Amino acid sequence: MLIHNNTAPMPPARVVVMGAGGFVGNAIASRLEQDRVDVLRLGRRDIDLVAPEAADRLAERLRPDDVLVAVSALAPCRNSEMLRDNMIMAAAMIRAAAAVPPAQIVNISSDAVYADAPVPLREDSVRAPESLHGAMHLARELMFAAEVKTPLAILRPSLLYGAADPHNGYGPNRFRRLAAAGEPIVLFGNGEERRDHVLIDDVAEVAARVIYRRSAGALNIATGAVASFRDIAEIVVRLSGRPVPIRPTPRTGPMPHNGYRPFDPAACYAAFPDFRYVPLPEGLAKLQAEA
């Protein structure tokens, strides 16, 4: 659950987005800039967080009244070298925040920190990742929680989709690109796994609300609705207006997350009662209209 330190929304003096060149960081920065919030966008070209001097360079850019959004990560984390570098990057951000404590830190984590369960996941569900990517995010959460002395918000988005996503991950982003090119959509198995997909605009909106309320605590960013990959492919094909074939393929291993990974969005709605997630069909239609 979140604890709001501002009784009413109040934009901060400035927000420093570390990782603003990426999909999530850019979306958050752009959302804040819509409200004319002063945003300092920092990326790898500005500060290489793996470099020995990274903490000092970031500290030089921070002010005590800043909000620091920690997005920078090598993701998805696939091997031990990436895991090591992600720990170095997190440590650099933490050291910088220790030198110049900001007013708030917002750490962008992932739903991958949770163990699989047959019931909707909540913020207090067991955190026991089975992947290096999940282990990386959980380790970073623990690092921030152990060493940060300022209000800390940890946001855990589920699967994301949006037009600007540079990854070609299995799901809405890849399906939309295949349909636009008139190429077949190839499913794993029959595409029967059911997952929760979140429009990137909703991630940016929740992050902005957390910043304006100077909230502390953990919050999942998930719609509470699951859809199969077959359903997603069919929606994408219908929206494209093209005769794109959808092809199942034999599976070579077990379904990820046992084929079902639901979430309970109650904590998000309790924190922000007037907020509602964009349903997946509506989000896909919005992206198609903007293409």
Domain ranges of the chain: 2-160+199-224+262-277
- Nearest CA to 83 among 147, 135, 156? 135
pLDDT given at position 38: 98
Question: Model's pTM, two decimal places?
Answer: 0.96
The residues, ordered by sequence, that sit 6+ positions from 38 with a Cβ below 8 Å of its Cβ are 13, 14, 15
| CA dihedral of residues 110, 113, 114, 116 (deg, nearest 10) | 100
Q: What is the CATH code of the structural domain delimited by 2-160+199-224+262-277?
A: 3.40.50.720
Average pLDDT over every residue of 225-243: 96
Provide the pLDDT for residue 102. Answer: 97
Long-range contacts of 168-171 (CB under 8 A, 24+ apart): 170/229, 171/195, 171/197, 171/229, 171/232
Is the peptide bond prior to 76 cis by the omega test (within 30 degrees of 0)?
yes
- Rounded mean pLDDT of the chain? 96
DSSP run (H or E) holding 260: strand 260-261
Contact 168, 180 (CB under 8 A): no
Q: What is the pLDDT of residue 168?
A: 83
d(CA 250, CA 190): 8
45 has a pLDDT exceeding 90: yes
What's the gap between Cα 77 and its chain centre?
14
Checking if the pLDDT of 253 tops 90, the result is: no
